[in-house]
């Protein structure tokens, strides 16, 4: 294992080769080679438009810092530079050099931390400058490779940069950075009053009147996708899946220095669900009207349409969404029980009440919440009730819950894992908790259906393609299932290899990454209102949908829907089938990345 800390730059650019300054770049197909670097690294910034450009640098800290000063120098003068996580202390060289100093809350940086700074530059015309950056008094080492031998597919690769941390072997993809960016995606989806350490500079407070129509505070939570409705069912599923990944692969978040951010990530929707479960047998499951929302193309901060609140209760049951939200609470309890016991106890109480509510008053939530029918219509309640029973058993160790889950067992092959179907993970958990062969066989049957030779077709380039709408979501979800199955001892190598192939397809094995901000080529026109809107006070209107330029803001970490059955894909903003993002798209994907990071 290589144990060098690396100073590196995340480059927002179309260029593919790594470039170092004051060091030599080493090529070859053998082992990685180190080269000394004295403070400075060359950066290429892009995502430019007339009069401006956007960039980001991430520096891995190589020595203990109680404060820091970063020198960001461009090859041409700028009129202004906007930075949000640092203060601009000084401008030199006629607008070419900018000295950035820490904010009070990020002054202390430890060895292994990553200091990431996003900036917007303004100048004359269609500027596309280059830049260098360094932190005063800090040196590092860089490991690069520009030509490689065969990878695991047997295909020769070139011009990949290897990033190395003290706890991770060389891999084709920088999983640490991918986890970081996926968490940033969830921060970009936040509704409500944003915290003082908000890391998404183009997002502000929004939806501050949510719940006022029913006399409640229903602020917070996540916006669902490229729109601004808060759909409780996929939000609860996403929270449960993300938290399950954290519980299984906590080491991945620790080694990538993202653990605190991950706790904040899942706490945001959990806090919202506490508000939404305002009475024992009552749960608010949607805020906003999908049709009205989809007729508005603008910033969430500028919404002025009515945002009605919808609930399930004893007279209008929804045991599917109650069960899913129960699972999110229960998983949250396990995540926080040592970190924050008081908060965890609150989550456990909500989980218990929702489980009993869902079991006692059974029904499909979209039978009464018709506003959700055209967006997230539920198929049945069996899988969610089984799912919630399994989580209740895991937080109580009371056999009555496991007995109920076994009654609700659905054998394989399962269609797939999604916000509306947790059957594959139910099968894995039932085997993990009982070690019964019937559940192991169900897992094997489900995975056999998804692997080559099963009923799920494959694209020419190797994606397990279950459905057109969000094709990558399903393959990424099943990659997580495969890794969870391997964790309980089922076909470990086979399932891990398959999962890696599906995740690496999404990350760029075809030459194009479907994760925004990852790799050299990725979507720049996602179907996402907030990211597409210009900086205020410029207005945002439906004209942004067809604007040919890239979105003004980079929606880091967002996994887009994905290609068609022949790997065809168009990066256009109005293609919501293939180019929208959603909170449930990233959930299984992020968890699978965490699982792959640990076993590298």
Full pLDDT tens readout for the chain, 600 residues: 323 223 333 333 333 333 333 333 333 333 333 333 335 666 767 566 777 777 778 787 888 888 899 999 988 899 988 887 788 999 999 999 999 998 876 777 877 677 878 788 888 887 888 888 888 887 543 333 222 222 222 333 222 222 222 233 335 799 999 999 999 999 999 999 999 999 999 999 999 999 999 999 999 999 999 999 999 999 999 999 999 999 999 999 999 999 999 999 999 999 999 999 999 999 999 999 999 999 999 999 999 999 999 999 999 999 999 999 999 999 999 999 999 999 999 999 999 999 999 999 999 999 999 999 999 999 999 999 999 999 999 999 999 999 999 999 999 899 999 999 999 999 999 999 999 999 999 999 999 999 999 999 999 999 999 999 999 999 999 999 999 999 999 999 999 999 999 999 999 999 999 999 999 899 999 999 999 999 999 999 999 999 999 999 999 999 999 999 999 999 999 999 999 999 999 999 999 999 998 876
Active site residue: 350, 527, 528, 553, which one? 527
d(CA 104, CA 86): 9
d(CA 311, CA 385): 19
Q: Can you give the pLDDT at residue 36?
A: 36
Structure-token match 């072997």, residue found: 169
Active site residue: 56, 176, 383, 580, which one? 580
The number of angstroms, rounded, from the C-alpha of 132 to the middle of its chain's C-alpha atoms is 29
* Sign of the four-CA dihedral 257, 259, 265, 268: negative
How far, CA to CA in Å, does 248 sit from each of 258, 389, 416?
Answer: 15, 19, 20
Task: Spell out the domains of the chain, with CATH numbers in brackets.
Answer: 33-158 (2.60.40.290), 175-523+557-599 (1.50.10.10)
Q: Is 525 a catalytic residue?
A: no
* Sign of the four-CA dihedral 512, 513, 516, 517: negative
Q: Three-state SS string across 373-389, please?
A: HHHHCCCCCHHHHHHHH
Helix then strand then coil, in percent of the chain rounded to 5, is 40, 15, 45
The number of angstroms, rounded, from the C-alpha of 282 to the middle of its chain's C-alpha atoms is 30
d(CA 36, CA 41): 11
Q: Is 571 a catalytic residue?
A: yes
Active site residue: 97, 445, 492, 571, which one? 571
DSSP assignments along 234-295, one per residue: HHHHHHHHHHHHHHH-HHHHHHTT-HHHHHHHHHHHHHHHHHH--BTTEEEEEES-HHHHHT
Q: Is 260 a catalytic residue?
A: no
* Beta bridge partner(s), residue 134: 71
């Amino acid at each position: 294992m290589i144990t060098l800390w690396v100073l590196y730059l995340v480059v927002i650019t179309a260029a593919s080769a790594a470039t170092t300054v004051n060091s030599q770049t080493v090529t070859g197909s053998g082992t990685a080679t180190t080269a000394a670097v004295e403070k400075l690294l060359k950066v290429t910034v892009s995502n430019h438009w007339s009069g401006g450009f956007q960039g980001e640098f991430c520096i891995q800290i190589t020595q203990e810092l109680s404060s820091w000063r970063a020198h960001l120098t461009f090859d041409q003068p700028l009129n202004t530079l906007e930075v949000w996580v640092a203060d601009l202390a000084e401008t030199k060289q006629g607008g070419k050099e900018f000295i950035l100093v820490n904010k009070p809350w990020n002054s202390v940086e430890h060895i292994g931390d990553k200091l990431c700074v996003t900036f917007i530059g303004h100048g004359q015309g269609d500027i596309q400058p280059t830049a260098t950056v360094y932190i005063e008094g800090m040196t590092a080492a860089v490991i690069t490779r520009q030509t490689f031998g065969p990878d695991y597919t047997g295909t020769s690769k070139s011009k990949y940069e290897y990033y190395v941390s003290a706890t991770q072997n060389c891999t084709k993809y920088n999983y640490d950075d991918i986890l970081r960016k996926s968490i940033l995606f969830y921060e970009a989806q936040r509704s409500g009053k944003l915290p003082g350490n908000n890391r998404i500079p183009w997002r502000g407070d929004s939806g501050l009147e949510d719940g006022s129509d029913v006399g409640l505070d229903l602020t917070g939570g996540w916006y669902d996708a490229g729109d601004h409705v808060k759909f409780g069912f996929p939000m609860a599923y996403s929270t449960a899946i993300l938290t399950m990944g954290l519980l299984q692969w906590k080491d991945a978040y620790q080694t990538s220095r993202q653990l605190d951010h991950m706790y904040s990530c899942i706490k945001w929707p959990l806090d919202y669900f506490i508000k939404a479960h305002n009475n024992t047998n009552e749960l608010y499951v949607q805020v906003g009207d999908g049709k009205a929302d989809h007729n508005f193309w603008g910033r969430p901060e500028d919404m002025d349409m009515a945002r009605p609140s919808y609930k399930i209760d004893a007279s209008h049951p929804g045991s599917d969404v109650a069960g899913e939200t129960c699972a999110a609470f229960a998983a949250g309890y396990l995540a926080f029980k040592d970190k924050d016991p008081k908060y965890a106890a609150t989550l456990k109480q909500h989980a218990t009440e929702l489980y009993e509510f869902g079991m006692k008053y059974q029904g499909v939530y979209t039978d009464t919440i018709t506003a959700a029918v055209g967006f997230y219509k539920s198929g049945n309640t069996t899988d969610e009730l089984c799912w919630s029973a399994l989580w209740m058993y895991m937080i109580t160790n009371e056999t009555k819950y496991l007995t109920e889950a076994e009654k609700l067992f659905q054998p394989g092959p399962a269609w797939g894992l999604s916000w509306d179907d947790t059957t594959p993970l139910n099968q894995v958990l039932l085997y993990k908790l009982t070690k019964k062969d019937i559940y192991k066989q169900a897992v094997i049957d489900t995975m056999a259906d998804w692997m080559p030779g099963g009923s799920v077709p494959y694209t020419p380039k190797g994606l397990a393609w279950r459905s057109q709408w969000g094709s990558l979501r399903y393959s990424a979800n099943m990659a997580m299932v495969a890794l969870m199955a391997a964790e309980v001892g089922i076909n470990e190598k086979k399932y891990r290899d398959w999962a890696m192939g599906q995740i690496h397809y999404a990350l760029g094995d075809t030459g194009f990454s479907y994760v925004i901000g990852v790799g050299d080529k990725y979507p720049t026109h996602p179907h996402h209102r907030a990211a597409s809107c210009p900086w205020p006070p410029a207005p945002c209107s439906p004209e942004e949908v067809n604007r040919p330029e890239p979105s003004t803001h980079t929606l880091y970490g967002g996994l887009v829907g994905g290609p068609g059955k022949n790997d065809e894909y168009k990066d256009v903003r109005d293609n919501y089938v293939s180019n929208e993002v959603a909170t449930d798209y990233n959930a299984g994907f992020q968890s699978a990345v965490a699982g792959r990071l640990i076993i590298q």
